[in-house]
């Protein structure tokens, strides 16, 4: 068996894995950011859907995939702003608010996207070849001849990891998520930090949606997010709120997405389609075992901050 795997198939599998993993990684990075700040946003599915349709519509209208990506980011960020307002300012239940946001996002995307159904995307990203590296066998085509958003995502992952670990703002963010009272008493504007984290997280979720409709598929169909937003919530826990572990998790789940194509002949398609969902549950089951150690959620996750009350 081993020997019959051609380099082409290997390259192809890797390419598809990375393509499927990219939106997952983007969304997970965004959710990590929001949750490290102490706000859980279950509206990822809705923000992604809104991002997907906004990205597609704008790219079609302007002819520029970059404009589309910007619109996707704006759509995700805009919806996240609603969640931030509810959960930070109005101290609403973050779980239910996130679900409401999902309904809103899926609804908006369905309404806006109706005219786009079945239209192929005319404005696409051209792939960028990294000199020298792209000539590597197997890895070259899979890693270094890709759309620019892929590189951007990798850079974002590295950037966020560095941001959280080694910068003043990263320290502030994680203090706000661990002990908002301590942050407040150090003179840090807790609400502003939380707003920023949630909106930035939403921007990445929107970008993830944009990746789906601009690069991955590329077209618009209703329900194209297909539960990826929820898988992202699971991945955030699985990654223990660490960006670099999110990279591993996204690769894993990107791979699971691709196995669907590999086993098409042998297994009923509905079972294959269930695979990512079942894998999410499995990942969280295994994750819980080592969660007793370091990978505990931010101490103030989903707890609204109420200063000056008793």
> Which positions lie near other proteins, rule CB under 8 A?
42, 46, 82, 86, 90-93, 95-97, 99-111, 114, 166-169, 171-172, 174-175, 178-179, 181-189, 222, 226-227, 230-231, 233-234, 237, 268, 270-271, 273-274, 277-278, 280-281, 284-285, 288, 291, 299, 307-310
Nearer to other proteins, 217 or 291 (CB): 291
Please, is 92 exposed, middle or buried when counting C-beta atoms within 10 Å of its C-beta (0-12, 13-18, 19+)? middle
Nearer to other proteins, 4 or 292 (CB): 292
- Residues 43, 175 contacting (CB under 8 angstroms): no
Task: Quote the least distance from Cβ 224 to other proteins, whole Å.
Answer: 13
Task: Quote the least distance from Cβ 132 to other proteins, whole Å.
Answer: 31
As given in the structure block, the two tokens for residue 120 are 């192929």
Measuring CA to CA, which residue among 203, 204, 145, 159 is closest to residue 19?
Answer: 145
- Distance of alpha carbon 310 from alpha carbon 301, whole angstroms: 20
Nearer to other proteins, 129 or 184 (CB): 184
Nearer to other proteins, 92 or 138 (CB): 92
Distances (CA, A) of 97 to 91, 211, 267, 310: 10, 25, 38, 25
Nearer to other proteins, 22 or 97 (CB): 97
- Distance of alpha carbon 288 from alpha carbon 270, whole angstroms: 28
Task: Quote the least distance from Cβ 226 to other proteins, whole Å.
Answer: 8
Report CA Rg, the chain.
20
Task: Quote the least distance from Cβ 227 to other proteins, whole Å.
Answer: 5
């Amino acid at each position: 068996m081993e020997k019959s795997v051609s380099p082409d198939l290997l390259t192809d599998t890797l390419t598809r894995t990375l393509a499927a993993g990219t939106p997952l990684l983007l969304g997970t990075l965004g959710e990590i950011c929001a949750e490290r700040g102490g706000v859980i946003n279950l509206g990822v599915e809705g923000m992604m859907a809104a991002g997907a349709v906004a990205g597609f519509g704008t790219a079609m209208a302007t002819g520029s995939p970059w404009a589309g990506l910007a619109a996707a980011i704006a759509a995700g960020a805009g919806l996240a702003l609603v969640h931030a307002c509810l959960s930070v300012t109005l101290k609403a239940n973050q779980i239910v608010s996130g679900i409401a946001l999902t309904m809103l996002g899926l609804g908006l995307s369905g309404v806006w996207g109706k005219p786009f159904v079945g239209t192929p995307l005319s404005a696409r990203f051209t792939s960028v070849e990294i000199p020298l590296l792209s000539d590597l066998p197997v890895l070259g085509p899979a890693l270094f001849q890709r759309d620019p958003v892929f590189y951007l995502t990798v850079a974002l992952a590295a950037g966020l990891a560095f941001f959280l670990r080694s910068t003043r703002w990263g320290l502030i963010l994680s203090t706000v998520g661990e002990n908002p009272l301590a942050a407040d008493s150090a003179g840090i504007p807790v609400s502003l930090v939380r707003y920023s984290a949630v909106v930035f997280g939403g921007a990445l979720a929107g970008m993830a949606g944009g990746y789906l409709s601009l690069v991955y598929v590329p077209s618009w169909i209703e329900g194209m997010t297909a539960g990826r937003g929820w898988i992202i919530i699971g991945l955030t826990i699985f990654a223990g709120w660490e960006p670099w572990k999110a990279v591993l998790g996204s690769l894993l789940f990107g791979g699971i997405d691709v196995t669907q194509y590999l086993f098409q002949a042998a297994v009923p398609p509905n079972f294959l389609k269930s695979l990512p969902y079942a894998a999410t549950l499995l990942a969280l089951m295994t994750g819980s075992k080592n969660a007793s150690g370091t990978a505990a959620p931010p101490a103030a996750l989903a707890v609204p901050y109420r200063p000056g009350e008793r």
